[in-house]
Amino acid sequence: MAVIDMELEAVLRPVEMSLPAYPPKVILLSNGQNLVIRQVRREDVPVLLQAVRPLCDVDRDFTDLIGARLYAELLGWYRFRLRNGYCLIGQVDGRLVGIMNGRVYSQEIGINYHTLEIDRRLRAGPHLFAAKMEYHIEVLGQEEVWTTAERPISFRKWMVEYVLESQTDAQHELGGSPSWRLSREHYMGIRDRMVAGERPVPPELLETSMREIIVSAVGKRSGGRT
């Protein structure tokens, strides 16, 4: 490992806010399995990168682009080059089935990056995305979340389903596609329809998820949604 110049590192490393933790929750999926959604630490990133790396070579439905961007975002957070970043994951019996990340732009504004649904057969994507919005609005107490889409299915699932507000005067950090906004007022109006789950997570379920993040091989039905 390269020797770090701590004096220069103090200049390059961003000053970060102290973010409240996302309280874990459990959601009963349609197939009868329990989806545990929880927050991870920087130390967990190398394991998550194992799950994301294979997607960078999937030339289908912009999966390679999403995989590459998510990989860089996670690595940037891990290496202290992403300001006020966070990462949530979804697990079933300890197996990693979803990765959700973003960051805090300011006290009022949150930035949504990516929601990676590793196994689409579980149909967990809507729960994963909703958990991020819950974190920004209800836990962090922000007034709005900015998001964008990199593929048509993402646009239909998030912008259309959530009836998000188009922002012509703001550019999302991912660039390219237009920026869309979820306000606190709008979120609270659709919360009961979008956000599911129970707290606290039963101790045995939480213990299983905390013990190990199991990364399975990426299958044909695997992929990502922003």
- Tens-digit pLDDT profile for residues 209-221: 999 999 985 543 3
Q: What digits encode the pLDDT tens for the residues 95-153?
A: 999 999 999 999 999 999 999 999 888 989 999 999 999 999 999 999 999 999 888 88
Which pLDDT value is given to residue 224? 45
pTM of the model: 0.91
Interatomic CA distance for residues 125 and 130, integer angstroms: 9
Q: Which helix (H) or strand (E) holds 65?
A: helix 63-78
Give mean pLDDT, residues 173-189. 91
Which pLDDT value is given to residue 119? 83
Distances (CA, A) of 52 to 47, 69, 170, 222: 9, 10, 29, 11
In the chain, count of helices (H) and strands (E)?
Answer: 7, 8
Q: What digits encode the pLDDT tens for the residues 10-48?
A: 889 998 999 999 999 999 999 999 999 999 999 999 999
Q: CB burial class (10 A; 0-12, 13-18, 19+) of residue 64?
A: middle
Q: CB burial class (10 A; 0-12, 13-18, 19+) of residue 80?
A: middle
Q: Which domains does the chain have, with CATH numbers?
A: 20-211 (3.40.630.30)
> Tokens representing 93?
């019996």
Cis amide prior to 200 (ω within 30 degrees):
yes
